[in-house]
Amino acid sequence: MKQVAIGIDIGGTNTVLGLVDQNGNVLVKDYFSTAKYNDITEYTNKLSGNINKLLERLSQIEVNLHIIGIGIGAPNANYYSGTIEHAPNLSFKGVIPFVSLLKEKFPYIQTITLTNDANATAIGEMMFGGAIGMKNFVMYTLGTGVGSGLVVNGNLVYGQDGFAGECGHTMLIPNGRLCGCGVRGHLEAYCSATGMKRTAFELLAQYNDTKSLLAGYSYNELTAKSIYEAALKGDEIALEVFYSTGKWLGQALADTVHHFSPEAIFLFGGPVAAGDLIINPTIASMETHLLSVFKNKVKVHPSLLKFGDAAIVGASALVWKEQ
């Protein structure tokens, strides 16, 4: 008998899903557009159809499948209630009882569990990545926004209401850049992929550097990836974007260390692909900001989860963790 968990990651653009074995291998996977569906009933019909297709595909290879559960990562997801609540990047508004809706489709699956995407990534790291055996660590995810998942004494911190771990909305620079949430100065406005673009535009304005490789992009064209490619070619503005992003991120990581004293902090997401370009200034800045009792103790690492599969693996880990 082959045990598998179903991992689903609901993003604003796409939904990705896959069947994952107990070693964190994605056996089959699929994706479809989330944005195309405004109606939650149509969306869950599509999702359950795609799950069933995956199960059919795998059962042609594995004759004796046992589904141990479904794990779901989603923005604004509440672990306790199984709901997705007022997610700004999803077209499903209000409070969606997502776990209940899936249970109607899959009454034979006992465990269906939901949490936010950064929490799922943290559990994935603990089960299958660089945090195996760690009891106290933190995951920061850098993407369109900045998310986080906190593990204390071997368990994810959900808080009183299931929403803990919104470190992207801690204050970095009072009265600074406007964050997507409406408050000024949050970490997310500086250290997300979008934040890096904003930094590039600030630096271009500051230095009037018409020779920069980034000077030819419009605001809507520029991406964190273009900044990375320019940095690899030695572009000074692009290099300074990474330096500044690391400097700011390190300050925020120090605040998290002063709260928790974790063994390690993992960084996940597109900008982290730049490796030392972002990791080195992050560590240097974090160490500068730490009390001496914490210095040179906390490892800062890129996630060891495979980038393309991490969202699926992380979501499935919610189920595997309970085995």
Residues that bind a copy of itself (CB under 8 A): 76, 85-86, 135-136, 148, 150, 152-153, 155, 157-167, 169-174, 181, 183, 251, 254-256, 258-263, 288-289, 291-294, 297-298
Of 107 and 133, CB closest to a copy of itself: 133
Of 36 and 86, CB closest to a copy of itself: 86
CB of 176 to a copy of itself, least distance (A): 9
Helix axes 236-260, 193-207, angle to 10 degrees: 130
Q: How far apart are CA 134 and CA 126, in angstroms?
A: 7
Of 160 and 208, CB closest to a copy of itself: 160
Amino acid identity at 35 = A
Of 32 and 260, CB closest to a copy of itself: 260
Q: Which helix (H) or strand (E) holds 310?
A: helix 310-320
Q: How far apart are CA 273 and CA 287, in angstroms?
A: 22
CB of 319 to a copy of itself, least distance (A): 20
Burial 215-233 (b: 16+ CB within 10 A, else e): eebeeeebbbebbbebbee
CB of 195 to a copy of itself, least distance (A): 16
Q: How far apart are CA 201 and CA 261, in angstroms?
A: 35
| Closest among 303, 317, 24, 271 to 139, alpha carbons compared | 303
CB of 297 to a copy of itself, least distance (A): 6
Of 24 and 250, CB closest to a copy of itself: 250
CB of 151 to a copy of itself, least distance (A): 10
CB of 9 to a copy of itself, least distance (A): 20
Of 111 and 170, CB closest to a copy of itself: 170
| Closest among 93, 102, 103 to 38, alpha carbons compared | 93
CA dihedral (247, 148, 261, 298) in degrees, to 10, reads -50
CA 166 and chain centroid, separation: 11
